Structures are given as structure tokens and as C-alpha cells.
Amino acid sequence: MASDSTAERKAALRASAKGARGRSRAEAARSAVARLLLLEELGRARVVACYRAIGDEVPVEEAADACRARGASVVYPVVVGAELELAADPSQTERVAAESVDLFIVPGLLFDRTGMRLGRGGGHYDRLLARRRGDALAVGVCFEDRVVDALPRERWDVRMDLVVTDEGVIRAEREGGLST
């Protein structure tokens, strides 16, 4: 169970993030997806978990299309009860095991410079990513104005291996280092 103070800080950050708007989102989204497509890790992945953007998330369908064009399988999360499962595109019934995914593209309201993520509060992605293989990567995608220095965290929060924004790529293995 989250401590009251951590839960309150996360709730305040979620409310603030949902109200924030930066520069042209369309331009920034194109830039973020272009950086995502340049990742060697994405180019090597045979099974990629994407998401369908909601709200102010970066739309990544162009990346999904590029993966399909090079022969990779693309899967999407489906909420089943309190859990996220993965379904083959376009079918929502053919399930895919999390352990078969090479790279997860993950949305978030906020990310920090160490790769921590603040989602919508249900813990769905944390539980899904906890089931991934040890060599499978988690790549967060967001707008640069959604990256903060540090986020509150709980023991179950899953750190991203990389965070891609419209302005750069944060590699978590270099604690807080920003590279392009």
C-alpha cells in the first residue's frame, strides 16, 4: 500500500500534469516519434508492445507501422479486470504473453531523469512490466515538458530503461544522463 504522503504527492503531480500544455503538440509528437524510430533497440525488437494514445500522450502509431513494415509483431495492452494483458493487433482476443515482448513502448503522465514513471494511478503498467523478460526493454515516451527531476516512488514502481522525448533520449543506466 502506498504511504499517504507518497500517494498525495503522486495525486498532486497527476493533476498538475493533466493541466499542463507546452508548445505545439503535433510538432513535438513528430519529433518524439522520429527519435523513437532511430533507436537501435527498437530496430532489433521482433515483438513490440505499443499503446494507443489517450489524452495528452504521444501518439506512437507511426512507430507501430514502421515495426510492422520491417516484419516485427506489434501488440497492444488490453485492460482485463485489474490487469493489462497484451493482444495481437488487430484482434483483441488473441492474447500474447508479456514474456514474448522484446520492447515495451510505455506512455506516462510524467517521467523523471532516472527513468521513473508516473502513470494514471492504477498500477497497470507496473504489473505488466513486472512480468517481462529480464532482457526486454521498457521505453517511456512523452513530451519534454513532462520530464521532471525526480518523482516519488514506491517499491513496485518500474523504472524505464529509456525515456524518449521530443528533445532527447534519457538512458536510465546512466543515472540521469541525457543523450541524443
Rounded Cα distance, 157 and 34, in Å: 27
Write out pLDDT tens, residues 7-49.
888 777 777 665 555 558 999 999 999 999 999 999 999 999 9
Question: According to the CATH classification, is domain 4-179 in 3.30.230.70?
Answer: no
Grade residue 5 by pLDDT with cuts at 50, 70 and 90: confident
Q: What is the rounded CA–CA span in Å between residue 47 and residue 65?
A: 13
pLDDT band at residue 132 using 50, 70 and 90 as cut-offs: very high
Alpha carbon 82 to chain centroid, angstroms: 19
CA R_g for the chain: 15
- Average of pLDDT values for 155-176? 86
pLDDT band at 85 (very low <50, low <70, confident <90, very high): very high
- 7 vs 87: CA distance, rounded Å: 31
* pLDDT above 70 for 174: no
Evaluate if residue 180 carries a pLDDT over 50. Answer: no
63 C-beta neighbours (distance < 10 Å), count: 24
Q: What is the pTM of this model?
A: 0.86
Q: What are the φ/ψ torsions at residue 88 (nearest 5 degrees)?
A: -70, 140
For the chain, give the mean pLDDT.
89
CA 36 to chain centre: 11
